[in-house]
Amino acid sequence: MSRIGKQPVAIGAATVTLDGAVVTAKGPRGTLSFTAHELVSVAVEGGQVTVTPVNDSKLSRSLWGMTRTMIAN
């Protein structure tokens, strides 16, 4: 299990929208857009962004932590 991937990302002052696999974060310093891989699921709920793997494959678990880190940045 990914220790990084388990942690939700706090949104803070930013506005995060989810359009299919495209995660867009808009904040005071600009806009960031990231397309999540199909092997991970991204959800925006309660002021937090959570990332979960779709299945238990090695690639899905690898992308889980990487996707969470990309969204946190």
Write down the pTM of the prediction: 0.83
Q: What is the CA radius of gyration of the chain?
A: 12
User: What's the rounded mean pLDDT across residues 49-73?
Assistant: 91
Given a cut of 90, whether residue 12 has pLDDT beyond it is no
Q: What percent of the chain has pLDDT over 90?
A: 59
Domains annotated on the chain, with CATH: 3-72 (3.90.930.12)
Residue-level pLDDT at 1: 55
Given a cut of 80, whether residue 2 has pLDDT beyond it is no
> Buried (b) or exposed (e) across 64-73, using 16+ Cβ within 10 A?
bbebbebbee
Look at residues 38, 64, 49 and name the one whose alpha carbon lies nearest to residue 15: 49
Residue-level pLDDT at 3: 80
Q: Edge to edge, what strands does the sheet with 48-53 contain? A: 9-10, 48-53, 40-45
